[in-house]
Amino acid sequence: MLLKKWASNWAEGLSLITGETDRYKIALVRYILESLLSMLLSLFFIVMLSLFFGVLRTAFLITITAAALKIFMGGLHLSTPLRCAIAGAIVAVILSYVARLFPLNRFPLVLQLMIFTCLLITIWRNSPLEAKGKPLAPKHRTCLAWLSRGIIMIVLFLCLRWPEAKGVNELFYGAIFQVINLIRPMAIVLERLESGLDRFKGLVRI
């Protein structure tokens, strides 16, 4: 876990520089640094893969939306940042093609309302979904839960009010990308993917 090692070293270094001794705060800084490094790694793979398939703009906007929502809502992770980056890039490219083939403004209003209701219920029940190793106190969890609900309601209002506006289609699919990371079926898929990748640990370090 190279990124985790870097994040831990930098967090400890910053605590020495600032004189901070609170282990919770140091752990929080480490988590933030690790998340930033993971995000940069993910963006690299997304840019490379989406450039290859010709969906750079769409994939980038969807990913940025999902990443912004994930800050408040949490979500599922694979065991290493590299696995997360590769899987995220693949999902972003697939969703980009879906977004181009089935733009939000072509959905009937009834279908839009049904999808929005499902997204809202999922986030209301499951967010924030804590990542392993994330130092989240109960009061912070409650705060993030209400922020998540408020933010998704704003996102869904924008999608419902201006479905044809520039960037709204990517906003909608970015929200879907994030909600996928909160549901049990995706957790099962990731568990099976992890077990499959673990079989090749001796051959390829992913």
pLDDT attached to residue 200: 60
pLDDT attached to residue 10: 74
pLDDT attached to residue 58: 95
What pLDDT tens digit does each residue of the chain (206 aa) get? 566 677 677 777 877 788 777 777 777 777 777 778 777 888 889 999 999 999 999 999 999 998 888 878 877 777 777 778 888 888 899 999 999 999 999 999 999 999 999 999 999 988 877 655 555 667 777 888 898 899 999 999 999 999 999 999 999 999 999 988 888 777 777 777 777 666 666 544 54
pLDDT attached to residue 98: 96
Cβ 206 vs Cβ 197: under 8 Å: yes
pLDDT attached to residue 3: 66
pLDDT attached to residue 117: 94
**What 3 state SS string does the chain have?**
CHHHHHHHHHHHHHHHHHCCCCHHHHHHHHHHHHHHHHHHHHHHHHHHHHHHHCCHHHHHHHHHHHHHHHHHHECCCCCCHHHHHHHHHHHHHHHHHHHHHCCHHHCCHHHHHHHHHHHHHHHHHHCCECCCCCCCCHHHHHHHHHHHHHHHHHHHHHHHHCCCCCCHHHHHHHHHHHHHCCCHHHHHHHHHHHHHHHCCCCCCCC
- CA distances to 1, 107, 153 from 122, rounded to whole Å, are 31, 21, 12
CB atoms within 10 A of CB 50: 21
